[in-house]
Amino acid sequence: CCLLVKGRTKKEVDDENYMKRQIYGNYTSLTPLGTAFELTTLVFLDAIVSELMEKMHQTESDLKARHTVLE
């Protein structure tokens, strides 16, 4: 199974024409750097993990036992 979550890139943000967009009423997102996208994706993926835990009969302790810190 593969899930592709696309986000916005810096290339899609047009800072040069800010005043022009304001005059014409073309506003960009009020959240800086896609914060709403990041939060929504976090909640969505967290829900998937919770559902998988339930279906695979795993507990938080089971997951912690297999968790690795890569530093």
- pLDDT tens per residue, range 25-40: 776 666 666 677 888 8
- Is residue 17 assigned to a domain? no
3-state helix, strand, coil in the chain (%, to 5): 60, 0, 40
As for how many domains the chain has, the answer is: 1
Domain of residue 61, residue span: 32-71
Euclidean distance between CA atoms 22 and 29, whole angstroms: 12
- Is residue 15 assigned to a domain? no
- Is residue 12 assigned to a domain? no
- Predicted confidence (pLDDT) at residue 66 exceeds the cutoff of 80: yes
Q: What is the pTM of this model?
A: 0.55
Q: Which two tokens stand for residue 19?
A: 């005043």
- Is residue 16 assigned to a domain? no
Angle CA 61–63–68, to nearest 5: 115
Question: Quick check: 24 and 18 in contact, CB under 8 A?
Answer: no
- Is residue 60 assigned to a domain? yes
